[in-house]
């Protein structure tokens, strides 16, 4: 691969502009050589901001006319599948936001095609890359493997179904928490779940107790009709516990001592920018490094299939 990794972007919306463009723009070994969006105003504003010369409203034209090492496809899940398949048929490496489709079968098929065409892939489960979470986990695991974990993801959401019903809250959003459980404790042996719709005509409450193959126990706590948005993690090992809000801080308690070790998220990340604190820069760096080393990233399509399968199991393992 050339000295600079050549990236094409399909999508110039809010999420891409908030975290992915600024992350890649900071990397000296990356060049964004093409950008595509149907909204020409948004397309040109993003292209001007990041000095991207090649601009397209047809992604197939971008693929034909630019030489790319990888394509970022950043858009809602129900728009992903056909575009990802086309890029994989052109043997391009792929980065997508979560979820990697609206159902497990879509993820399975893109994973199979990526493997067949020897394409590298990554799904943006950036919670695995949050600097303060990664550091807290390393401190906890100095005492031994995680024996109990919990991820809480709650919101006050009173809008309609996600994307007018094209996707659902668990698959589209709470999947972050589901994937985090796998990342902390490994693969799932069995689980029991509660899925409810509270005050709305769509499911918005998801809770589960999970037994992992390692013997660890995990808890998913999610409800989108409560007081405010909170995403938090807990990790416990022998004589040590970590309580984490990735965008704020982690507090680690050891051996029954009242005072905990405080890790401020901005200090660990070395920045107050959300794309650093939230793990977006780190996951993008991981993807670029994997492209250069020609190895599949941690959250590749095949791995993402396991998280999508766990989403399905939550729906079908009700108490």
pLDDT score at 210? 98
- Quote the pLDDT of residue 129: 98
pLDDT classification of 249: cutoffs 50, 70, 90: very high
CA atoms of 92 and 283, how far apart (whole Å) = 19
Radius of gyration of the chain from Cα atoms?
20
Given a cut of 60, is residue 239 above it in pLDDT?
yes
Distance of alpha carbon 285 from alpha carbon 264, whole angstroms: 22
Phi, psi of 3 (to 5 degrees): -60, -40
**H helix and E strand count, the chain:** 13, 14
What digits encode the pLDDT tens for the residues 131-157? 999 999 999 999 999 999 999 999 999
Contact 5, 292 (CB under 8 A): yes
Q: How many CB atoms lie within 10 A of CB 319?
A: 9
Q: According to the model, what pLDDT value does residue 1 have?
A: 53
- How far is it, in rounded angstroms, from Cα 107 to Cα 84? 10
Domain 5-126, CATH class in plain words: alpha beta
Give the model's confidence band at 27: pLDDT under 50 very low, under 70 low, under 90 confident, else very high. very high
DSSP codes of every residue in 233-279: EEEEETTEEEEEETTTEEEEEETT-SSPEEEEHHHHHT---HHHHTS
Closest CA to 250 of 172, 133, 168, 149: 133
Q: Supply 24's token pair.
A: 């890649």
**pLDDT, mean of residues 284-307:** 98
Tell me the C-alpha distance between 3 and 32, whole Å.
13
pLDDT score for 318? 82
Whether 5-126 and 128-270+301-315 share one fold: the answer is no
Write down the residue that tokens 């090649």 correspond to.
54
For residue 254, what pLDDT is reported? 98
What's residue 319's pLDDT? 81
Q: Kindly provide the residue ranges of all beta strands, DSSP E only, lying in the chain, ordered along the sequence.
A: 5-10, 30-36, 54-56, 70-73, 93-97, 121-124, 148-156, 188-196, 205-212, 217-223, 225-237, 240-245, 249-254, 261-264
For residue range 209-234, list pLDDT tens digits in order. 999 999 999 999 999 999 999 999 99
pLDDT reading at 2 higher than 70: no
11 closest CA partner among 36, 32, 39? 36
Could you tell me if 262 and 254 are in contact, meaning their C-beta atoms sit under 8 angstroms apart? no
The answer to whether residues 66 and 11 touch, using CB atoms and an 8 Å cutoff, is no
C-beta of residue 220 within 8 angstroms of C-beta of residue 151: yes
Contact of 234 with 218, CB cutoff 8 Å: no
Segment 28-57 shows an average pLDDT of: 97
318 vs 70, residue with greater confidence: 70
State the pLDDT confidence band at 291, using cuts at 50, 70 and 90.
very high
Percent of all residues in the chain with a pLDDT value above 90, rounded to a whole number:
98
Tokens for 165, please give them. 């019903």
Domain limits, the chain: 5-126, 128-270+301-315
What is the per-residue pLDDT for 3? 83
Residues 6+ apart with CB under 8 A from 257: none
Mean pLDDT of the chain: 97
Question: Distance between CA 49 and CA 65 in Å, rounded?
Answer: 22
Q: Which residues neighbour 112 within 8 Å (Cβ) at sequence distance 6 or greater?
A: none
What strand order describes the sheet that includes 217-223? 188-196, 205-212, 217-223, 148-156, 225-237, 240-245, 249-254, 261-264
Instruction: Retrieve residue 274's tokens.
Output: 């959300």
Fold classification of 128-270+301-315 is: Dihydrodipicolinate Reductase; domain 2 (3.30.360)
For residue 99, the SS3 value is coil
């Amino acid at each position: 691969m050339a000295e600079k990794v050549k990236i094409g972007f399909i999508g110039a919306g809010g999420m891409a502009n908030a975290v992915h463009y600024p992350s890649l723009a900071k990397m000296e070994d990356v060049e964004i050589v093409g950008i595509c969006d149907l909204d020409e105003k948004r397309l040109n504003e993003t292209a001007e901001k990041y000095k991207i010369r090649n601009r397209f409203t047809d992604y197939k034209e971008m693929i034909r006319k630019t030489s790319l090492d990888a394509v970022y496809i950043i858009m809602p899940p129900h728009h992903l599948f056909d575009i990802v398949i086309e890029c994989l048929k052109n043997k391009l490496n792929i980065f997508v936001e979560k979820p990697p489709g609206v159902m497990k079968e879509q993820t399975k098929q893109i994973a199979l095609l990526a493997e067949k065409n020897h394409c590298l892939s990554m799904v943006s489960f950036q919670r695995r890359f949050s600097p303060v979470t990664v550091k807290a986990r390393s401190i906890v695991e100095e005492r031994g493997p995680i024996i109990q974990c919990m991820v809480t993801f709650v919101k006050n959401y009173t809008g309609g179904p996600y994307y007018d019903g094209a996707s659902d809250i668990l698959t589209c959003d709470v999947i972050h928490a589901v994937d985090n459980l796998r990342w902390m404790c490994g693969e799932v042996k069995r689980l029991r779940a509660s899925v409810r719709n509270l005050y709305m005509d769509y499911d918005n409450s998801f809770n589960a107790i999970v037994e992992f193959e390692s013997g660890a126990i995990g808890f998913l706590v999610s409800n989108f009709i409560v007081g405010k948005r909170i995403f938090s993690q807990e990790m416990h090992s022998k004589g040590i516990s970590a309580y984490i809000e990735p965008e704020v801080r982690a507090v680690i308690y050891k051996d029954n001592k009242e005072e905990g070790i405080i890790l401020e998220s901005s200090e660990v990340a070395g920045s107050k920018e959300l794309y650093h604190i939230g793990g977006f820069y780190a996951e993008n760096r991981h993807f670029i490094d994997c492209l250069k080393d020609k190895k599949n990233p941690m959250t590749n399509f095949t791995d993402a299939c396991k998280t999508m399968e766990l989403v399905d199991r939550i729906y079908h393992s009700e108490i």
